Amino acid sequence: MLVMKFGGTSVGKPERMKKIANLVTETPGQKIVVLSALSGTTNALVAIGDFLMKGEHVAAENEIANLEKHYLAFIEELYGTENFQAIGHEIVSRFFIFIRLLAAGQFDDKSYRELLAQGELMSTELFYQHLQERKINARLLPALHFMSIDENEEPELEKIAQRLKPLLTSLKQVDIIITQGYICRNYRNEIDNLKRGGSDYTASLIGSAILAEEIQIWTDIDGMHNNDPRIVKKTYPISELTFDEASELAYFGAKILHPSTIVPAQKYHVPVRLKNTMDEKAPGTLISDKETASVFKAVAAKDGITAIKIKSSRMLMAYGFLRKVFEIFEQYKTPIDMISTSEVAVSLTIDYTNHLEEILTELTKFGSVEVDKNQTIVCIVGHRIGNQAGVLDKIFSSLREIPIRMVSVGGSYNNISVLVDTRYKDQTLTALNEGIFHLA
Ligand code: ADP
Ligand code: ASP
Ligand code: MG
């Protein structure tokens, strides 16, 4: 069984939705098709939710009306027959009645999450009806029946697998099983989500739960590139990556993959293939256990990083000190990304800052604390890059004009990270493109 995930731009225009219908139909064997919301929809739902949270009902209604218009134009082009045009209208009108119902009531965090789920619920229903119109053997499998997260917002992979088993047994005769990316239930049984970009994660959770032959992530680019194509001019697709390499790139900012996508796939050794919906012949990127030898593979950047330095002359390197520091971050469920130590100070970085004030208050018990916001981690990934002669020389001579706040080497064999002020991010990525990939 294959899992095929199509992102927002892949379903964002009626002709693209028709194209992916062809693509999944022509692919042999049974497959689970995971869809995102149409491009722009989740952003619009976020905007509507933000207005409603602030009590700005008129602004929210304007956004809702615009979104509704977009969907009405979409179905007009998607369906060919009057009968299915009517079905399309019925679906859109049902969803927008519900969205307005959510907007009219007491709007809280729970309604907000329910609102965000409407994008994927709509796109899958519209796609399913398109296949119905073309008499293609397909079924909708609601993600809210099997996808769940626990108290710590971690996906419950075993439960997901257990729930999927009987569902898939009953769907043995169906070629195309359609489900929603991104959405799930939380431990309170409420509707929740896997965070922005989470449809990739849905695909890999399903693929790992059913031990799929392959998890395919179809998007608007021909695979993982060696650098961020939104920032540097010349980039190229990488044909193969190991799970470790891809995992570092996704976690450290390569937007093509949700940061956690690779984790379950790696655990269950299910290969992940990145493919381009706009150019299906392009080879894309295969992510698997197989190692390939090129030293520098790719760089990625993660913004919104806060660096914290704790300075204390007496207790710092005494044993037990780092444990106490880490315990504070653990208490506030705040992961640490980079760390570097000296005899008198320790610097570390976080990107989740909801509890920053509490953390800083606790840390001041140990010494003086300095905070730098608006930092960016630039992560350089490659095969055994962490322990090869000459690698650091190449990186640092490329970055000779950039002030570097922190460096991390030796944490893993395939990643070297540097922390720079976000003002230098574009310059850093460009300098690395020239210095290590020789792309001027
Ligand atoms: P989807 O809507 O299909 O999930 P995304 O917009 O989330 O698509 O991800 C695809 C985009 O990721 C590309 O259009 C590209 O601009 C961006 N991107 C950032 N870094 C990389 C990279 N290293 N390789 C490929 N794409 C990247
Ligand atoms: N629709 C969601 C988002 O825009 C999930 C996804 O597209 O992966 O974040
Ligand atoms: Mg995405």
Q: What is the CA radius of gyration of the chain?
A: 23
At residue 317 the predicted structure's pLDDT band, cuts being 50, 70 and 90, is: low
Tell me the CA–centroid distance for residue 35 and ligand 1, in Å: 16
* CA gap 198, 41 in Å, rounded: 14
What pLDDT is attached to residue 313? 59
Cβ distance 355 to 382 under 8 Å? Answer: no
Q: Is any atom of ligand 2 closer than 6 Å to the C-beta of 182?
A: yes
At residue 413 the predicted structure's pLDDT band, cuts being 50, 70 and 90, is: confident
Q: Is any atom of ligand 1 closer than 6 Å to the C-beta of 241?
A: no
Tens-place pLDDT, residues 138-149: 999 999 999 999
At residue 281 the predicted structure's pLDDT band, cuts being 50, 70 and 90, is: very high
> What value does the mean pLDDT take over residues 380-401?
93
Tens-place pLDDT, residues 260-271: 999 999 999 999
* CA gap 346, 312 in Å, rounded: 9
Residue 124 pLDDT > 70: yes
Choose the CATH number for 297-435 among 3.30.2130.10, 3.90.480.20, 3.40.50.720, 1.10.645.10.
Answer: 3.30.2130.10
> What value does the mean pLDDT take over residues 98-114?
96
Q: Is any atom of ligand 2 closer than 6 Å to the C-beta of 367?
A: no
How is the chain split into domains, by residue range?
2-220, 297-435
At residue 294 the predicted structure's pLDDT band, cuts being 50, 70 and 90, is: confident
Encoded amino acid at 41, one letter: T
What pLDDT is attached to residue 315? 60
* Percent residues over pLDDT 90 in the chain: 91
Ligand found nearest the CA of 143: 2
| Better pLDDT: 315 or 13 | 13
Backbone CA torsion sign across 150, 155, 159, 165: positive
Q: Is any atom of ligand 1 closer than 6 Å to the C-beta of 256?
A: yes
Give me the CATH topology for the region 2-220.
Carbamate kinase (3.40.1160)
Question: How much is the pTM?
Answer: 0.95
Q: Could you count the other beta carbons within 10 Å of the beta carbon of residue 269? A: 11
Tens-place pLDDT, residues 202-229: 999 999 999 999 999 999 999 999 999 9
At residue 177 the predicted structure's pLDDT band, cuts being 50, 70 and 90, is: very high
Tell me the CA–centroid distance for residue 8 and ligand 2, in Å: 7
Angle between helices 57-78 and 14-26 (to 10 degrees): 50
Mean of all residue pLDDT scores within the chain: 96
Encoded amino acid at 406, one letter: M
Tell me the CA–centroid distance for residue 221 and ligand 1, in Å: 7
* CA gap 193, 150 in Å, rounded: 12
| Better pLDDT: 345 or 21 | 21
Q: What distance, in Å, lies between the first and last C-alpha atoms of the chain?
A: 43
At residue 312 the predicted structure's pLDDT band, cuts being 50, 70 and 90, is: confident
> What value does the mean pLDDT take over residues 141-159?
97
What pLDDT is attached to residue 396? 96
Residue 59 pLDDT > 70: yes
Q: Do 2-220 and 297-435 show the same overall fold?
A: no
What pLDDT is attached to residue 304? 97
